[in-house]
Amino acid sequence: MTKEGELFDCIDIYKQPAFDHPLLKDHKIQEFSSSVLVLWVVTTAVPVMRPAITPGSSLPSSSTSSSNSSLVIDPSANILTRFDCPEGTVPIRRTSKEDLLRAKYFAKSYQLTEHPDFPFADVPGQTVVMRRYHSAAIGHGIHSVINTANPKVGENQYSSAQLWVSNGPPDDINTIQAGWVEAPYLFGDSQTRFFGFFQAKNQSQTYGCYNTLCPGFVQVDSEYTLGTVIPLVSEIGGTQRVLQLDIFRDSEKKWWLIAGSDKRHVGYWPEAILPQMTEFPLFAAWGGLVRSDPNGPMTTPMGQGELPNGDYNRQCSITQIQYIRDDYVYVDVGDYFAFTSRSNVKSDQCYGIEYNGYYNDEERATIIFGGPGGPNC
């Protein structure tokens, strides 16, 4: 049991929920190849400071910042809950009937998949701000560092800061998403949680879920797992605590979720359940997503609940925005047309996103985003 009172079991790695998926009946657990790690180096994009937001976007460019402060990060903070499962077992959150009912209702109530390259659908109660990147250069995934927060959300609201990797036509979209989320209706409380999500959609069916609430994600690590509470989050104007993530495609086309400064290989989504994710070019995005009651205004706060104005210690940010080339080289996103803003925000007083280009050698390419929402949103 965690200190938050939640039950996680150390179960046999071959008896985890993933193997209930019909496409994974004969699947063999595959470890991450450490030989790849020697190729993990960074190449720097051309620095261009604070470009304007793409013309036609409803987002404010925020080209003049009130602060140029870098993140004041607590280097000792291990924000992810760590387990100590015996060899051959993995930590899995114990799922109740109530969890499954909430997940089923949540899936029916909201559009969970948004393709970064297609026009945002008019989904009642859902707002997204993101910077997106569409390129055949994204050979093996993306990397970023996400600042954490615990916005004050209501029972039927949802707020996340996350990464997206998606592909496929509108009627056959595959997506992987990861980051932190606060979703009281889905998880039964208002705590910030580490999440991973996948979905495959075609004309006949849609399947997928958060964490291990359905078969699909193969848990491999014995210490970190999806769905855990992040008890230490960033303080507005104070110490910042961050979540480092990679969504990484290996040479066997498995999509790994790699988390923490120690780069733990939490687990993977197999190729069999995400067939569109083997094709190129891929779509990647970084940003925030909020949901509210579809019949009311968008009052859910995003990030720290503040509009971006350049203050990395007050607003939510995503730094070290990089894609992973086909030769396993990590590359900072560049300042050119392919890396653009997308949003369905009704007013620039609701939510915003600010792209600061190559900020410095530590944060590298960055965005700041968020907002309070409100009665006119």
Quote the Cα angle for 17-22-27, to 5°. 70
Query: Full-prediction pTM beyond 0.85?
Result: yes
Structure confidence at residue 122 (pLDDT)? 59
Quote the Cα angle for 60-355-292, to 5°. 60
Residue 136, SS3 per DSSP: coil
Q: Is 340 a domain residue?
A: yes
Q: Is 375 a domain residue?
A: no
Under DSSP, the state recorded for 302 is: B
Structure confidence at residue 64 (pLDDT)? 34
Structure confidence at residue 340 (pLDDT)? 63
Q: Is 57 a domain residue?
A: yes
Select from 194, 203, 198 the least CA-distant residue to 24. 198
Select from 368, 358, 364 the least CA-distant residue to 143. 364
Q: Is 376 a domain residue?
A: no
Over residues 67-120, the pLDDT tens digits come to 456 777 766 567 899 999 999 999 999 988 888 888 877 776 655 555 555 445
φ, ψ for residue 246, nearest 5 deg: -125, 135
> For residues 281 and 269, what is the distance between their CA atoms, to the nearest angstrom?
19
φ, ψ for residue 140, nearest 5 deg: -135, 20
What residues contact 6, with CB distance under 8 A and at least 6 apart?
Answer: 93, 94, 228, 229
Structure confidence at residue 297 (pLDDT)? 77
Cis peptide, bond prior to residue 151, ω within 30 of zero:
no
Q: Is 325 a domain residue?
A: yes
**Could you tell me if 73 and 147 are in contact, meaning their C-beta atoms sit under 8 angstroms apart?**
no
348, 197, 38, 131 alpha-carbon torsion, rounded to 10°: -20
Range of the domain at 151: 8-370
**Could you tell me if 207 and 24 are in contact, meaning their C-beta atoms sit under 8 angstroms apart?**
no
Q: Give Cα separations from 259 to 131, 214, 224, 264, 285 (angstroms).
A: 21, 21, 8, 5, 18
Residues of the chain with pLDDT under 50: 34-41, 44-67, 118-119, 337
Q: Is 377 a domain residue?
A: no
Q: How many distinct structural domains can be found in the chain?
A: 1
Q: Is 3 a domain residue?
A: no
Q: Is 1 a domain residue?
A: no
Over residues 228-267, the pLDDT tens digits come to 999 999 999 999 999 999 999 998 899 999 999 889 999 9
